[in-house]
């Protein structure tokens, strides 16, 4: 397990292309760019196939329009699908 305690946006850029099975982000609830965290993760190809990204957030933030979204209380879970799951039948 590797833990990075740093700004999420800096980490996403530095780790571009490095994949992780689990990504946990616990940003300050008053972070102005909190809605940009999912894009930072996916645009930098950080989530491994079948991986999950867990993002803590206040109840006023709505991630429901994000692809692969599921919600549990104040936590958003974004899952990556393996390439076999994305094949059209």
All residues at 6 or more sequence positions from 87 whose CB lies less than 8 Å from its CB, including other chains: none
Cα distances (Å, whole numbers) of residue 6 to 1, 26, 36, 54, 86: 16, 11, 16, 16, 32
Q: Is the pLDDT of residue 80 over 80?
A: no
The pTM for the full model equals: 0.74
Q: What is the largest CA-CA distance in the chain?
A: 43
Q: Report residue 78's pLDDT band, with 50, 70 and 90 as the boundaries.
A: low
The predicted-structure confidence for 28-52, as pLDDT tens digits, reads as follows 888 999 999 999 999 999 999 888 8
pLDDT at 66: 82
pLDDT value for 85: 44
Give percent above pLDDT 70 in the chain: 78
- Highest average pLDDT, of 3-7, 17-21, 60-64, comes from 17-21
pLDDT of residue 76: 56
């Amino acid at each position: 397990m590797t833990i990075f305690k740093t700004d999420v946006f800096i980490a996403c850029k530095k780790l571009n292309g490095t994949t992780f099975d689990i990504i946990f982000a616990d940003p300050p609830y008053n972070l102005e760019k909190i809605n940009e965290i999912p894009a930072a993760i996916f645009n930098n190809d950080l989530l491994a196939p079948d991986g999950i990204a867990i993002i803590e957030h206040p109840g006023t933030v709505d991630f429901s329009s994000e692809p692969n979204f599921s919600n549990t209380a104040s936590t958003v879970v974004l899952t990556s699908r393996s390439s076999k799951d994305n094949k059209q039948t």
